[in-house]
């Protein structure tokens, strides 16, 4: 389980853009965080993940104290985003539903967006305006993709359920048909032999 926790936080840490992006170009043009797939975890592992996220979040925010001006704002945005992403990843792993995974991806997109917007503040004029619009567009597209994937997952899940129900119904119908054949064959016997044949057929096909 420790390896899983490490994987969750490594994924969360890599999700938020670093401070080293150049200031002389629109920062929001950077690619949004790629969606991650998290393996299901237990309630205990989920609780530990949340506590670790809180603890790491405090450490990351405290590390921003020495920075000034917009560099501090960017640092705090990164720290807050990392914490939220770690918690969302844990939530998605614990809930293990299409909606939870959509929420996780939305959180990751919003974390990227917050950092990108802060970095846009280092720019000015039209360059800054473009930077902000790119950040807005990246957020909208990331959320749209997350929704599409969630709807597709819901559809697959619904389809699988319907298919399972259909298979169950088909199997019942076929067993009933076979049972009728078996009972019909018993008519070739009489007395105790017939009774035994009927009993065997009922036992074989689950009839009372």
Residue 135: inside a domain: yes
- Tokens, residue 7: 């994987």
| pLDDT tens string 62-115 | 999 999 999 999 999 999 999 999 999 999 999 999 999 999 999 999 999 999
Longest CA–CA span in the chain (Å) reads 101
Would you say residue 164 lies in a domain?
no
**Range(s) of the domain holding residue 103:** 2-159
Cα gap 131→175, rounded to integer Å? 66
Residues 6+ apart with CB under 8 A from 57: 79, 80, 82, 83, 86
CA atoms of 182 and 169, how far apart (whole Å): 20
Place of tokens 């170009």: 25
Tell me if 154 is assigned to some domain.
Answer: yes
Looking at the domain assignment, is residue 18 inside a domain?
Answer: yes
Dihedral sign computed on CA atoms, order 120, 126, 131, 136: positive
pTM for this predicted structure: 0.61
For the chain, give the number of residues. 208
pLDDT reported for residue 26: 42
What number is the average pLDDT over the span 19-39? 47
Q: Looking at residues 43-68, what average pLDDT do you find?
A: 95
Q: Report the alpha-carbon distance of residue 136 to residue 112 in Å, rounded.
A: 11
The reported pLDDT for the residue numbered 37 is 60
Asked whether residue 32 carries a pLDDT value surpassing 60, the answer given is no
Looking at the 3D structure of the chain, how many domains does it have? 1
Tens-digit pLDDT profile for residues 135-172: 999 999 999 999 988 888 888 878 888 888 888 899 89
Higher pLDDT, 25 or 109: 109
**Assigned domain for 15 exists:** yes
Question: Could you give the CA distance from residue 65 to residue 62 in angstroms, rounded to a whole number?
Answer: 6
Q: Within a domain: residue 33?
A: yes
Dist. CA 57–CA 51, nearest whole Å: 10
39 vs 14, which has greater pLDDT? 39
Task: Tell which residue, 29, 16, 20, has the closest CA to residue 134.
Answer: 29
CB 148 within 8 A of CB 114: no
pLDDT at 165: 84
User: Per the structure block, which two tokens stand in for 62?
Assistant: 């405290």
Q: Is 8 part of a structural domain of the chain?
A: yes
Is residue 155 assigned to a domain?
yes
pLDDT of 162-198, one tens digit each? 888 888 899 899 999 999 999 999 999 999 999 999 9
| Other beta carbons less than 10 A from residue 57's beta carbon | 18
């Amino acid at each position: 389980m420790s390896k899983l926790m490490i994987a969750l936080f490594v994924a969360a840490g890599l999700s938020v853009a670093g401070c080293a992006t150049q200031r002389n170009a629109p920062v929001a043009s950077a690619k949004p965080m790629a969606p991650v797939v998290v393996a299901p975890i237990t309630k205990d592992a989920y609780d530990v993940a949340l506590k670790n996220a809180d603890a790491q979040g405090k450490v990351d925010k405290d590390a921003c104290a020495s920075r000034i001006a917009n560099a501090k704002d960017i640092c705090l945005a990164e720290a807050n985003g990392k914490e939220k992403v770690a918690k969302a990843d844990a939530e998605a792993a614990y809930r293990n539903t299409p909606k939870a995974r959509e929420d996780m991806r939305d959180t990751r997109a919003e974390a990227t967006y917050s950092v990108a917007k802060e970095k846009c503040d280092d720019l000015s004029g039209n360059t800054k305006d473009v930077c902000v619009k790119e950040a807005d567009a990246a957020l909208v597209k990331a959320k749209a993709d997350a929704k599409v994937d969630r709807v597709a997952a819901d559809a697959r899940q619904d389809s699988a359920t319907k298919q399972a129900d259909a298979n169950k119904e088909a199997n019942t119908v076929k067993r009933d048909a076979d049972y009728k054949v078996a009972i019909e064959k018993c008519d070739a016997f009489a007395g105790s032999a017939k009774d035994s044949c009927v009993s065997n057929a009922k036992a074989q096909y689950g009839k009372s």
